[in-house]
């Protein structure tokens, strides 16, 4: 455009402020150097936020998807500009001090996308994510910036040998410790579980959040249910780039999509899929960014009427590839809509309503067993159970699938941190009837609320899943299963009741009455509280220290703003 041209402020609301007019000659000069033509200055600028990295299979292919999204944006009439944000691997850092950075990375991703899009004046953007925290991080940025945007999921990994996946490896470690697996057999599982690019293949956190974001309306239909290495995923990425330009033309922003009803849709789909407990944490955080009132107890309210229908790993039999093969989550959403369990009038990034998107979706093929009928659900109500009681007065999140029972009573075995608990489990010190208490792992005290996949997998590998419970102020991987309760608030670092438990205390958990109880009287609780002392923080500088000072409780989504 010439210096005298008037900006098209309808779709160039932000980029026009950066590149239009005589005063912005220096900005244009810089952009000429990175490939802008004169004609590009009159086009809407579309950021392509890529989480590409070769440090994890989840993200190693996202550069090619970012290229497809950029091509779609430019073919749609925009000027694409690609930039990177970070990722860290939950699967690699699990069980190590590095896992403290996992949840922190959600905030870093959101902050970095907000920073680049805001600084550069992009009119809209595509955000692509693979590993667990990428998805909510991208969605938080979309909500904060409130510019036309579309999320693209990097896609699910293909199954390994004998349908193995990353959880197979974690559980094999427990079996090896129990003497049920040889060194050679463990090595074979390790070498064959991860065949290539893509996110972990069960209904773990990545696939859960991709499905929830699709149900929210922030990604195109079927984006959550495509394999990472597939032509469908490339087409999805290309279409997302085109879609952002259409959203600009229509004036549709995340605030038009992220309604209270949209979050109820996401919760409903998460429950029907038997999704990860992390969905509670992340949906609360996305809602906070969108300024939509959402409370932890909304999961109980919605869960009382939504059945679990997906027979998916980790508790069930099937992988994401099996769900993809029968049509993904769109036919499931159509079933839920027909039962009156979804709000069909919610607008989505297609520019159409949810009901309109689902209108032409074909039903699941006859004979499929991945998604159960409403007449024969896995569980009649939600597997995500919000517990309260004198041990968790501000709430805790349990994943009760029905396989592990609804009640547990046992004797406390207390550990300061995950490493001590894992060592005791692998050494055979944890026995039937124990309630393993892993504390000082909360958002502030960890910091970063590490996932307890290593201890829960070790419990499973030692065949104790039905006989041992694990409770924590940390959280769980989507791959965890068994009688596990996380997100206990207030956390131990803040002097919550979980900090006051002693070895040998009786603890009872009742998923039906939604209670978790430390069986001591209030006078004893107060006596213990009076002598409790807060431990020194894990870090006194850097990102972990900043996070610990800023972060809210798990019951509020562990947000930092």
Q: Which two tokens stand for residue 55?
A: 């440090």
The pLDDT of residue 453 is 83
Based on the residue annotation, tell me whether 255 is a catalytic residue of this protein.
Answer: no
Residue 310 pLDDT > 80: yes
Q: How many helices (H) and strands (E) does the chain have?
A: 21, 12
**How far is Cα of residue 370 from the mean position of the Cα atoms in its chain?**
22
Question: Residues 283-294: what's their mean pLDDT?
Answer: 98
Question: Residues 73-91: what's their mean pLDDT?
Answer: 96
Instruction: Please give the share of the chain, as a percent, with pLDDT higher than 70.
Output: 98
Considering only residues 361 and 162, tell me which one the structure prediction assigns the higher pLDDT: 361
Residue 178 pLDDT > 90: no
Per-residue confidence band for 174, with pLDDT thresholds at 50, 70 and 90 = confident
User: Tens digits of per-residue pLDDT, 119-137?
Assistant: 999 999 999 999 999 999 9
DSSP helix/strand/coil, 59: coil
Mean pLDDT of the chain: 94
Burial profile 190-203: b = 16 or more Cβ within 10 angstroms, e = fewer: eeebbbebbbbbbb
Query: Rounded CA gap, 488 and 476, in Å?
Result: 12
Residue 335 pLDDT > 90: yes
Angle at 173 between CA 96 and CA 323, to 5 degrees: 90
- Among residues 105, 224, 300, 477, the one annotated as catalytic is 477
Give the long-range contacts of residues 16-21, CB within 8 A, separation 24 or more.
Answer: 17/121, 18/120, 18/121, 19/121
The pLDDT of residue 321 is 95
Per-residue confidence band for 546, with pLDDT thresholds at 50, 70 and 90 = very high
Query: Rounded CA gap, 287 and 259, in Å?
Result: 9
Contact 189, 254 (CB under 8 A): no
Which superfamily is assigned to 384-556 in CATH?
IlvD/EDD C-terminal domain-like (3.50.30.80)
Question: Residues 308-315: what's their mean pLDDT?
Answer: 93
Q: Which are the contacts of 13, defined by CB distance < 8 A and separation ≥ 6?
A: 123
DSSP per-residue codes, 272-294:
HTT--THHHHHHHHHHHHHT---
Question: Residues 27-52: what's their mean pLDDT?
Answer: 97
**Residue 124: beta bridge partners?**
46
E strand or H helix that includes residue 84: strand 79-84
Query: Rounded CA gap, 559 and 222, in Å?
Result: 29
Instruction: Write out the residue limits of the CATH 3.50.30.80 domain(s) in the chain.
Output: 384-556
DSSP helix/strand/coil, 434: strand
Residue 260 pLDDT > 90: yes
Give the CA radius of gyration of the chain: 24
| Residue among 268, 497, 513, 501 at smallest CA distance from 398 | 513
Q: Per CATH, which fold does 43-158+196-358 belong to?
A: Rossmann fold (3.40.50)
Question: Residues 289-315: what's their mean pLDDT?
Answer: 96
Instruction: Write out the residue limits of the CATH 3.40.50.2300 domain(s) in the chain.
Output: 43-158+196-358
The pLDDT of residue 479 is 67
Per-residue confidence band for 193, with pLDDT thresholds at 50, 70 and 90 = very high
The pLDDT of residue 6 is 46
The pLDDT of residue 318 is 95
Question: Residues 86-98: what's their mean pLDDT?
Answer: 92
User: Tens digits of per-residue pLDDT, 432-446?
Assistant: 999 999 999 999 999
Report CA torsion sign: 543, 548, 549, 551: positive
Query: Rounded CA gap, 516 and 198, in Å?
Result: 37
Q: Which are the contacts of 505, defined by CB distance < 8 A and separation ≥ 6?
A: 411, 412, 518, 519, 520
User: Tens digits of per-residue pLDDT, 360-416?
Assistant: 999 999 999 999 999 999 999 999 999 999 999 999 999 887 666 789 999 999 999
Angstrom distances, CA of residue 426 to CA of 30, 39, 135, 171, 172:
58, 64, 33, 11, 12
């Amino acid at each position: 455009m010439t210096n005298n041209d008037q900006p098209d402020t309808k779709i160039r609301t932000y980029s026009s402020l950066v590149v239009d007019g005589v005063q912005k000659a220096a900005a244009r000069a810089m952009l000429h150097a990175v490939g802008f033509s004169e004609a590009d200055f009159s086009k809407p600028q579309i950021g392509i936020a890529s989480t590409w990295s070769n440090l994890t299979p989840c993200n190693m292919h996202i550069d090619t998807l970012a290229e497809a999204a950029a091509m779609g944006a430019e073919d749609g009439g925009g000027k694409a500009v690609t930039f990177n944000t970070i990722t860290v691997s939950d699967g690699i850092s699990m069980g190590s001090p590095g896992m403290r950075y996992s949840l922190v990375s959600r905030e870093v991703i959101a902050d970095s996308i907000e920073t680049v899009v805001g600084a550069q004046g992009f009119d809209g953007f595509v955000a692509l994510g693979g590993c667990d925290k990428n998805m909510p991080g991208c969605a938080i940025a979309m909500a904060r910036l409130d510019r036309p945007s579309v999320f693209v999921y990097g896609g699910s990994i293909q199954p390994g040998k004998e349908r193995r996946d990353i959880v197979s490896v974690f559980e094999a470690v427990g079996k090896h410790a129990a003497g049920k697996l040889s060194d050679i057999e463990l090595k074979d599982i390790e070498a064959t579980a991860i065949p290539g690019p893509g996110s972990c293949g069960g209904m773990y956190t990545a696939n859960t959040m991709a499905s929830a974001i699709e149900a929210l309306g922030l990604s195109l239909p079927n984006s959550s249910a495509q394999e990472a290495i597939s032509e469908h995923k490339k087409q999805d990425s290309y279409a997302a780039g085109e879609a952002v330009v259409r959203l600009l033309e229509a004036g549709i922003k995340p605030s038009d999509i992220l309604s209270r009803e949209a979050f109820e849709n996401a919760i409903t789909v998460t429950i029907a899929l038997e999704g990860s407990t992390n969905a509670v944490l992340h949906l609360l955080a996305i809602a906070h960014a969108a300024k939509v009132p959402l409370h932890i107890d909304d999961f109980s309210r919605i869960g009382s009427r939504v059945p679990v229908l997906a027979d998916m790993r980790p508790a069930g039999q099937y992988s994401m590839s099996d769900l993809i093969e029968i049509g993904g989550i769109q036919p499931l959403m159509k079933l839920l809509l027909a039962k009156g369990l979804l709000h069909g009038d919610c607008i989505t990034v297609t520019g159409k309503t949810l009901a309109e998107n689902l209108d032409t979706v074909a039903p699941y093929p006859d004979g499929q067993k991945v998604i159960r009928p409403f007449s024969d659900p896995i569980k009649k109500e939600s597997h995500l159970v919000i517990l309260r009681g004198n041990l968790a007065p501000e709430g805790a999140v349990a994943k009760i699938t029905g396989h592990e029972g609804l009640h547990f009573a046992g004797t406390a075995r207390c550990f300061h941190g995950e490493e001590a608990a894992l060592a005791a489990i692998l050494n055979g010190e944890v026995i039937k009837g124990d309630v393993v208490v892993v504390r000082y792992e909360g958002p502030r005290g960890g910091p970063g609320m590490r996932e307890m996949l290593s201890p829960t997998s070790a419990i499973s590998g030692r065949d104790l899943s039905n006989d041992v419970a694990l409770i924590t102020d940390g959280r769980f991987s989507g791959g965890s299963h068994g009688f596990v309760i996380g997100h206990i608030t207030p956390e131990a670092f803040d002097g919550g009741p979980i900090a006051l438990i002693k070895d040998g205390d009786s603890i009872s958990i009742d998923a039906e009455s939604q209670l978790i109880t430390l069986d001591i009287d209030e006078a004893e609780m107060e006596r213990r509280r009076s002598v409790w002392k807060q431990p020194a923080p894990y870090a006194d500088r850097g990102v972990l220290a900043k996070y610990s000072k800023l972060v809210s409780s798990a019951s509020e989504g562990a947000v930092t703003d």
